[in-house]
Amino acid sequence: MKVAVIGTGYVGLVAGVCFADMGNRVVCVDTNAATVEKLRAGRSPIYEPGIEELLRRNIAAGRLTVTTQAREALDGTEAAFICVGTPPRDSDGEPDLSLVYGAAKDIANAMTGPLTVVVKSTVPVGTGDAVEEIIRRTRPDMSFSVASNPEFLREGSALADFQSPDRIVFGVEDAKAEETLRKLYLPLRATGAPQIVTRRRTSELIKYAANAFLATKISFINEMADLCEKVEGDVTELAAAVGLDSRIGGAFLRAGPGYGGSCFPKDTCALLHTAQEYGVPLRVVEGTVAANNARKHRMAQKVIEAAGGSVIGMKIAVLGLTFKPDTDDMRDAPSIPLIRHLQRAGAEIAAYDPQGLRQARDRLGNVAFHGDPYECAADADVVVLMTEWNELRSLDLGRLHRIMRTPVMVDLRNIYPPELARRFGFRLVNIGRPGPRGTVHQLPPALVASPPIQSDAAPILVK
Ligand code: UDX
């Protein structure tokens, strides 16, 4: 099948190379001539493990071409995917749909015959209707369908997520669109991924609901971690036990500094906006967002407390800047508010990240960036582990301890087992894990505040 993919960001490029690898003839379109040149040379503008290999292989096989001209891509094409960005608007944080509508207009102007237009960008409910309207008004002479086919890929494992998905969702309003999508995704039947065929609006909402639910799991476990810290519980053990309930599932129960990235923060807010528009309160999602926002500053406070109550004049080394490992993406990374907060509190910040330094430089001022974690941590008063890169999971703790001025480690990803870090002499602060065994346990406040136990009262069991 000949397929056009409009937009070569995360979603577009991954879809483009994967559709080509499945044997289709794919033409990717991007308005940025420099990006097109780079892609033609087999270089990816985004950091994603394995993507350049797939890009080169499919260019060499003649299945994948890249152009700035929609006309070239749409000539004789059966399916055109809209994969452009929907970044939050500065004014109100709502997704900016101008690129989606622009792509719809370009497709309409360039189409040469019957076409299925598929919106893959994450868009609010009803956007497919608007896309349909734009195309109909521009080309009343043409027969076409508009479908929704959301993408559930994660940065860092985007290719695998595309090639062996948990499910594939087709939001269609007519049989032609369903037939085209089924044909295109036929090679993925072998993975056993269920195909959900639904109406377009449901499909648009599925993407938001999935992301909001995952974000909720994270905020939930983060709040459990806060409680663990007070009651001397261990959130990693709690999450493991709770996650073994098959109704809950163990994924996305890693407590940390809060979720970031290009999807969860933006999509949860967009969902709340849709809900508000339709007068349907989504209190659970509101709580998820509020907890995550508050968390960013709580994390900075945690560092300040670990430093003894003040960071004025101290050197704080932040190891890991991206919102998660295996990406260079700094969008909504929790490291940004953490660093700004610590700077306002008077700290000097040094920072290291394996891939995110280029984007970090654009977003953060007054930071000493380093290309090596040990250089970064030399003479530091506190080291903060922000992202669980493999490289940061296997630091030489002896060396780290020797080069720091004071060995205070704030492990916001629970990378290091507490006993290990303490064995190397670190003063460790982590997320929701107890201090060393043998520390004096405080009585729970409820017991302290309760009246003296009468001898004939039922015994209270205290573990
Ligand atoms: C997410 C969704 O997973 C994906 O399906 C969707 O298409 C896009 O948004 P992504 O943003 O790439 O993908 O990253 P993900 O791996 O989901 O992590 C998002 C954030 O949650 C990161 O900041 C990560 O550190 C955090 N997280 C994730 C946790 O804090 N704890 C967890 O248990 C899991």
Q: Which CATH number applies to 2-198?
A: 3.40.50.720
Please name the amino acid found at residue 40.
Answer: R
Rounded Cα gap, residues 62 and 56, in angstroms: 10
Does the reported pTM lie above 0.90? yes
Count the helix, strand and coil residues of the chain and give each as a percent rounded to the nearest 5. Answer: 45, 15, 40
Distance 13 CA to ligand 1 centre (A): 19
Q: Which CATH number applies to 296-429?
A: 3.40.50.720
Contact 83, 7 (CB under 8 A): yes
Q: Which residues are catalytic?
A: 263
Per-residue pLDDT tens, the chain, 463 aa: give them.
999 999 999 999 999 999 999 999 999 999 999 999 999 999 999 989 999 999 999 999 999 999 999 999 999 999 999 999 999 898 888 899 999 999 999 999 999 999 999 999 999 999 999 999 999 999 999 999 999 999 999 989 999 999 999 999 999 999 999 999 999 999 999 999 999 999 999 999 999 999 999 999 999 999 999 999 999 999 999 999 999 999 999 999 999 999 999 999 999 999 999 999 999 999 999 999 999 999 999 999 999 999 999 999 999 999 999 999 999 999 999 999 999 999 999 999 999 999 999 999 999 999 999 999 999 999 999 999 999 999 999 999 999 999 999 999 999 999 999 999 999 999 999 999 987 665 555 666 666 665 554 444 444 443 3
Q: Is residue 325 within 6 Å of ligand 1 at its C-beta? A: no
389: left (phi over 0), alpha (psi -120 to 50) or beta: beta
CA 137 to chain centre: 36
Rounded Cα gap, residues 204 and 128, in angstroms: 8
Q: Within 13 Å and on the Cβ side, how many CA atoms surround 295?
A: 27
Q: Which CATH number among 1.10.1040.10, 1.10.3720.10, 2.102.10.10, 3.40.50.2300 corresponds to the domain 208-293?
A: 1.10.1040.10
| Token representation of residue 209 | 């609901």
Confirm whether the ipTM is greater than 0.85.
Answer: yes
Q: Any idea what DSSP says for residue 88?
A: B
Best residue for ligand 1 mutational test, from 83, 149, 217, 218 (most atoms within 8 Å of Cβ): 218
The atom of ligand 1 lying closest to the CA of 122 is 7
Q: Is residue 260 within 6 Å of ligand 1 at its C-beta? A: yes
What is the domain partition of the chain in residue ranges? 2-198, 208-293, 296-429
Q: Which residue has the tokens 């080309």?
A: 139
- Sheet containing strand 408-411, strands side by side: 367-370, 348-352, 315-319, 382-385, 408-411, 427-429
Instruction: List the one residue out of 329, 263, 280 whose CA is nearest residue 122.
Output: 263
Please name the residues in contact with 192: beta carbons below 8 A apart, sequence gap of 6 or more: none
